[in-house]
Amino acid sequence: MEPLSFFALFLLWLAGLFAGFVDAIAGGGGIISLPALLAAGMPPHLALGTNKLQGTFGSMTAAVNYSRKGLVNLREIPTGVVFTALGALAGTVTVQVLSPDFLRHIILILLAGVFLYTLFSPDLGKLDRRPSMAAPVFFCCAGLALGFYDGFFGPGTGSFWAIALVLVLGLNLKKATAHTKIFNFTSNVVALGAFFAGHNVVVSAGLLMGAGQMLGAFLGSRLVIQKGTGFVRVFFLVVVAATIIRLACTSYFT
């Protein structure tokens, strides 16, 4: 593809900034960053690979910031990291031979369920609750399933992680959001390696957006740390709704 203009690069940096901010709070930054890359004229395979590069910077920044503030249980996450990496690797390999299009309708239904359940459960994620499953078992199952999904398709991964951590492990929504960034970073890195191997990453654009992602993720994660779970819940609902709309438009109008 042709070199991007200075103005186009600035817009990509700005998109990375906003995507990092949104993603650090409730996930779903891809609904901003991926369309921006496609609008810049990148072919889909390059846009997907470059999106993983820039997204890695944001998820890493948010994960570090949350961990430093004590919102992540570092003793429990290694199991989740390992199985998320395995799932993401399997998903990234599988997507090379299968089209993800058939998943769109299923994911729309699942995301709609997450949205409605959260909307009509005002106390969901306000306080920590007793877990309904042992953490190692949960991280094994969720890591493989959601890691695979993120490597294979991606939209809504953060939402699924957050709701699963709240419902199964009993975390409040603020802690769930913090843990989600660890696993997002893991699957991003694994998928990025596969895209690099296929020469499907525009490094210059990815690094520039990554700089914006780091600033946005830092600001967004600080806001979550300072605010209560009610703020995260509202932002979570907005992002899930926006993801549903984007997937619906992609499914029915393209």
pLDDT in tens, 129-178: 899 999 999 999 999 999 998 888 777 788 889 999 999 999 999 999 99
Query: Phi and psi dihedrals of 50, rounded to 5?
Result: -65, -35
Picking from 161-165, 223-227, 228-232, which range would have the lowest pLDDT averaged per residue? 228-232
Averaged pLDDT, 48-63: 92
What pLDDT is attached to residue 38?
87
Percentage of the chain surpassing pLDDT 90?
Answer: 48
Averaged pLDDT, 235-248: 86
| Residue 218 belongs to a domain | yes
What pLDDT is attached to residue 65?
93
Percentage of the chain surpassing pLDDT 70?
Answer: 94
Q: In a 3-state reduction of DSSP, which class is residue 134?
A: coil
More confident residue, 175 or 108: 175
What pLDDT is attached to residue 83?
96
More confident residue, 18 or 30: 18
| Residue 85 belongs to a domain | yes
More confident residue, 246 or 66: 66
More confident residue, 48 or 219: 219
Confidence category of residue 85, pLDDT binned at 50, 70, 90: very high
Averaged pLDDT, 207-222: 96
What contacts 204, CB < 8 A, 6 or more positions away? none
Confidence category of residue 62, pLDDT binned at 50, 70, 90: very high
Output the CA torsion 212→214→220→224 (10° steps): 170
Position 64 pLDDT exceeds 90 = yes
| Residue 1 belongs to a domain | no
Question: Total domain count for the chain?
Answer: 1
Domain that holds residue 245: 6-252
What pLDDT is attached to residue 81?
96
Output the CA torsion 196→202→205→211 (10° steps): 10
- CA-CA distance, 240 to 161, in Å (whole number)? 12
